[in-house]
Structure 1
């Protein structure tokens, strides 16, 4: 396992502290950050439900950027987060240096493994909405928020899973 810093760059469904706090109770929000030369794409196929998940896809284009938030975590948080993020079976760990509140920090993030990229898959509507609520919470620029809103979503055929995520979305709306 490569070196892992104690700072996590969240850009997808973990972007909102309400969602991440349910997975990593010790999380502490440090602030927003941006990952240059990457593009937010909903093309990572889930190995669990075949829906699309978010990916910070490296493009090399300096005009591209993924907006996210950096959280301080403890090593005790890593196993649970790795499990829900399917580390090694859908996502790989990547380490980058980002600027947060004027300070350079080494952060880790999850990026899609090439074998799991499926450009035609769609996220469940609740998943897209988790990312959207996080972007709104952090006050991301309207063009970025609009782009997330425009992502086509599909209804989750698992009513129980959809209901669980709808409850999280309601909690986010009051946070």
Structure 2
């Protein structure tokens, strides 16, 4: 059975989140995706799985030649690809080239939200917290972590089941 590389930039930065559905995931390091911008958004599609699961808008990347996105590079077994696609059902799989912190380049899979983004909107504090925990766990650059921290959230106070499950795993 083969493997594939996956570039995570949202909640799957956190090892425990990714491994819930994809147990073969092995962290390979951090990487930078040049020519894309990280943001939180809705789309003109029906509510995505991330939006429903996390009670707010979801992380997305869109083309922007003057920007870059930091994330974590994972190696997964091919047998985990269907579960990763199911987890990311509100996103289209795309192939991108990323560069690690030593300058090596890799062709890998990532996901981009389906439909046209309808503007910048707010994530739930729980979703943003998991992304930040993953960014710190992956040891993304401190300036990039501050960039994510600066996004406001929607102040959601209703329970977020996946968040509660992950917090239990982390304690």
Task: Using structure 2 for the length normalisation, give the TM-score.
Answer: 0.83
Q: 2 CA distance for matches of 1:81 and 1:134?
A: 17
The list of structure 1 runs, each at least 4 consecutive aligned residues, that deviate by more than 3 angstroms after superposition, is 100-103, 155-158, 169-172
Q: 2 CA distance for matches of 1:155 and 1:123?
A: 9
Instruction: Give structure 2 stretches of 5+ with no counterpart.
Output: none
- Which residue in 2 is equivalent to 1:59? 64
- Which residue in 1 is equivalent to 2:118? 118
SS of the aligned residue for 1:151 comes to coil
Cα distance, 1:84 vs. partner?
1.5
Contact 2:27 2:72 in 1 (8 A): yes
Instruction: Give structure 1 stretches of 5+ with no counterpart.
Output: none
Q: 1 CA distance for matches of 2:5 and 2:36?
A: 19
- Which residue in 1 is equivalent to 2:30? 32
Q: 2 CA distance for matches of 1:136 and 1:165?
A: 17
Task: Using structure 1 for the length normalisation, give the TM-score.
Answer: 0.81
Cα distance, 1:143 vs. partner?
2.2
Matched, 1:169 2:170: no
Q: 2 CA distance for matches of 1:154 and 1:41?
A: 14
Contact 1:129 1:169 in 2 (8 A): no
Q: Deviations over 1:115-168 (max 9, x none)?
A: 3x2324321111111111111112222221112112222244652xx1441331
Matched, 1:152 2:152: yes
SS of the aligned residue for 1:152 comes to coil
Q: 1 CA distance for matches of 2:115 and 2:156?
A: 24
How many residue pairs are counted as aligned between the two chains?
161
Query: Against the structure 1 CA distance between its residues 105 and 120, is the aligned structure 2 distance closer, same or farther, given a 3 Å change threshold?
Result: closer
Cα distance, 1:171 vs. partner?
3.3
Q: CA RMSD in A?
A: 2.2
Q: Deviations over 1:69-112 (max 9, x none)?
A: 111111211111111111xxx31111112233554321010012
Query: Against the structure 1 CA distance between its residues 104 and 77, is the aligned structure 2 distance closer, same or farther, given a 3 Å change threshold?
Result: same
- Which residue in 1 is equivalent to 2:72? 69
- Tell which has more relative contact order, 1 or 2 (C-alpha 8 A, sep 6+): 2
